[in-house]
Amino acid sequence: MLLLTRFCASLTALGLFFAPLPHADAFGPPPRPLVQQTAEAKLLAEFGRFAALSDGTVGIAVRDLQTGETQAINGDTLFPMASAYKVAVAGRIFALIDAGDVRLDDQLALDPALASEGGIAWMFNRPGASLSVQRLLELMLQKSDNNATDVLVARAGGPQAITHFVTGLGVAGLRVDSDTAHLLYRAMGIHPLSGSFRQNADAARRVDPQIAVRDMRDLPNLSFATEPEDTSTPKAMLDLISAYESGRALSADSTQRLFTIMAHCETGKGRIVGMLPPGTAVAHKTGSLNGTGNDVGVVRLPDGRRFAVVAFVMKDSKGHKARDRIIAEAARAAYDYFLYAPERAHGLAHKA
């Protein structure tokens, strides 16, 4: 009986062994093959995620300044530069210094006709008031003083001379059409022919209270944001920063002075520098205007390599904190990408 039981068990086991295997569907569908995202694709996906934080338009462009590798979203879209245009003004002034036409210790008169609001506007009514080119550059790039800027724009030869300087470097897609006072006039939607900035601005606010409301609530002026004047694409601004950093635009001394001043920028603490590791060296310039938030600059990595970053946000009504976060997130994502991407660790890079 025992032998019979063992024989039956053996037959059963053989039957199970030779029986057809269950179809794969019995265990559910086969797993899908994993899709390997490249480091570049992940970075651009992150940029897209940050851009979704705005109800306006976001442009981001970054470049490895050693290899030239460039990654961007909306890199060819025109954005209002706001005060970021002051980077171009500074370049033109330093080019004049290199040519021997201007000195850093030259004293420039503070013409009352160039005064706007805030900053050093109070100084313009002092008889004989003047400041050195060096001090005006510091006020313009570190404190974003509009009054100091317009004194330098006048000394630079005006907006057209600044645009000519930029295009002469091979940079396409960046144009300067106004000094800061007239840029602000356009943002307010007014075109005065005479009178001081304060008089014209106050009169416009009385006629149209929405101007003050827009300023107070930091809302975009959509018609202004679509004008081609005083705009740049992210890639064009990236090209300008790259021209400076490479030494193609200015002498070594002027390049060093420019970035040293920009390294002490006092505005936009929550933008490019906002999420970078403490102590990271950054030279940058911000721009802010109704619904617009910008920051452009150069970041140094721990191993000494550098990358440029441009982040523009326009037509945004979510406020400066949301815009600052977008810029900070983009700068940190670029920092990690250029520092840690595996192909970069092996000295390889892909230009885009």
Residue 147 in contact with residue 120, Cβ under 8 Å?
yes
What does residue 47 show for φ and ψ, rounded to 5 degrees?
Answer: -60, -40
Instruction: Supply the range of the domain harboring residue 47.
Output: 39-342
Note whether residue 104 is domain-resident: yes
Q: What percent of the chain is modeled with pLDDT above 90?
A: 78
Q: What is the pLDDT of residues 101-128, one digit of tens each?
A: 999 999 999 999 999 999 999 999 999 9
With cut-offs at 50, 70 and 90, classify the pLDDT of residue 29: low
Indicate the pTM of the whole model.
Answer: 0.87
When divided into structural domains, the chain yields a total of 1
Mean pLDDT of all residues in 5-23: 46
What is the rounded CA–CA span in Å between residue 322 and residue 83?
Answer: 19
Asked whether the predicted pLDDT for residue 160 surpasses 90, the reply is yes
The encoded tokens of residue 56 equal 């306006």
Note whether residue 23 is domain-resident: no
The encoded tokens of residue 4 equal 């019979």
Q: Strands 306-314 and 57-64, how do they pair?
A: antiparallel
Asked whether the predicted pLDDT for residue 16 surpasses 50, the reply is no
Note whether residue 25 is domain-resident: no
Note whether residue 8 is domain-resident: no
CATH value at residue 305: 3.40.710.10
Asked whether the predicted pLDDT for residue 87 surpasses 50, the reply is yes
pLDDT at 31: 57
pLDDT at 192: 87
Q: What is the pLDDT of residues 209-232, one digit of tens each?
A: 888 888 888 898 999 999 999 999
pLDDT at 32: 54
Note whether residue 4 is domain-resident: no
Note whether residue 235 is domain-resident: yes
Q: What percent of the chain is modeled with pLDDT above 70?
A: 86
CB contact set of 49 (below 8 Å; sequence gap of 6+): none
Query: Cα dihedral sign for 273, 281, 81, 310?
Result: negative
Note whether residue 11 is domain-resident: no
Q: What is the pLDDT of residues 278-303, one digit of tens each?
A: 999 999 999 999 999 999 999 999 99
332, 48, 235, 61 alpha-carbon torsion, rounded to 10°:
10
Note whether residue 351 is domain-resident: no
Range of weakest confidence among 30-34, 202-206, 214-218, 319-323: 30-34
